[in-house]
Amino acid sequence: MANFCVEMIEFHEDGDDGSPSSPLKFKDQDYEQIKKALLNGGGKFEDELFPANLDSLGELEGFTPEKFSEVKWLRPHELNPDAAFIMDGVSRFDFKQGEVGNCWFLSSIGALTFRKALMERVVPPNQSFKNNYAGIFHFKFWRFGKWVDVVIDDLLPTRKGRPVSVSSSSGKEFWAPLMEKAYAKICGSYGDMIAGRPSEAFKDFSGGVYLHYPLSKSPSDLWDIMDRAFQCRTMIGCSSLNGDRGKQIFKELGVVDGHAFAVTKVKQVESEGARVKLVRIWNPWGDTEWKGDWSDKSDLWETVSDENRDECLKVHDDGEFWIKMEDFLEYFEDIDICCNSPNFVEGDEHQWNSHSKKGRWEAGVSAGGYRNDRDDFWTNPQYRLTVEAVDGWSKGDKNIFVSLMQKHDEENRSKVSYHYIGYYLYKTAQGKLPSSVLLYVKPYTSFLSPTRELTELHSLEPGQYVIIPCTDGAGQTADFIITVYSKGEAKLQLSDD
């Protein structure tokens, strides 16, 4: 393990509640209390807050009224008398995507299976269909700075005896379908999980740092970044091209268009005297693979050493395949990397520290819009950032990572409409900046984006700065959390008037 892989300090602004060891109870449901009552009474849990009906199933693409009428909610032992929660550990090959278009979420679970400690946090152990079974299970997710414990029953939507959504590859193992149901509950329904980015699930699995790389303008050392990221036990996801070109590639080369995948490994091999950089990718469909160079049946595997071929090549229709880096850049659209710390970007040995503050844009009070709103911009919350010197740092080295996340109040994920958000960063020793300064001093800026979370790396000299998070228009109300990860020491505090 590379020595630049350090653990990030977990920050909880409001005390221990919401920590991994003391998560908040989602919808005030207490797993231990409910289970104890069920065991004493001999019943099986039926969740009234996420009932087994069509409201919880939600709107599903391609589902006709006839299909909806065929849906039955069954417990795992009704699908298989030998049902188990986990068999021989967890793996990306334990499950396959069903009729819900949530490949972004399932590919992210595939990436999560490589993070054993994190997996056990999200999927608490000691859950079973045998010992003390009461039809109740629970899972933990990170939500806007806090960990929450989500309770569910084990009634799964099925049609004609098969799960509507995620299914067990073996027909016996049900941790993945139940985990999906818990996430559907916090999203509002199964239908509310349709469409998304792996980075969203990565964040909710870890509360960690994520970086997004569009492959059309990726850094020249992206493969090295990916290599270091794997050494740091990251989660990596990618998306394929959409539109007419994506459909053509799907038809000719087998890469599903407009689809999310997990990146599961990188490997450099020697082929006919040349070094080839390879990327291993997994399709949550559980089948349908790349058919080009370095695919399972490619003759190019005969040009590498027996050791590399034995290590890498597994000719199975399991959705996982190798592709060389050049083809990956050409036929895929972007990549998301989520880790405990940004160290993998440059591979240095510095410890990164984390500082978070929660804030709110309030219409008429602290929602000043962006910099062109001359009269109101200064009313946005302002945060004082103190950057300390770091040994060995030189100008251009990335030493500050900023995350700005907005929180929505909508219970159904599909109905969320995010504001365009961004922030301005000023180098100044003043306290809270007045409009006269903000309008005429050139800031470091981030772009505005209609996203849940915006992230950006900076190279900042030691000194005093002010960060002003904002929306694209005055009067837009929302809660937000701003987090600064610093290489070395730094301080973040709300500026006084």
Q: Tell me, what DSSP letter sits at residue 419?
A: P
CA dihedral 338, 343, 347, 348 (to 10 degrees): -170
Cα–Cα distance, 233 to 118 (Å, whole number): 10
Q: What is the side-by-side strand order in the sheet with 478-487? A: 352-361, 478-487, 400-407, 453-458
Helices (H) and strands (E) in the chain, counts: 13, 23
Distances (CA, A) of 128 to 178, 343, 398, 413: 12, 38, 46, 30
Largest Cα–Cα distance of the chain, in whole Å?
72
Assigned token pair, 286: 């559980």
Cα within 13 Å of Cα(38), Cβ side: 18
**Count of other CB atoms within 10 angstroms of residue 55:** 11
Q: Is 259 a known active-site residue?
A: yes
Cα–Cα distance, 138 to 154 (Å, whole number): 10
In the set 5, 187, 232, 259, the catalytic residue is 259
**Count of other CB atoms within 10 angstroms of residue 53:** 11
Q: Is 338 a known active-site residue?
A: no
Q: Is 350 a known active-site residue?
A: no
In the set 5, 187, 283, 419, the catalytic residue is 283
| 214 SS3 class | strand
In the set 103, 338, 339, 470, the catalytic residue is 103
Cα–Cα distance, 341 to 234 (Å, whole number): 9
Burial 149-181, CB ≥16 within 10 A → b, else e: bbbbbbbbbbbeeebbbbbbeeeebbbbbbbbb
Cα–Cα distance, 472 to 186 (Å, whole number): 28
Q: Which residues are tagged catalytic?
A: 103, 259, 283
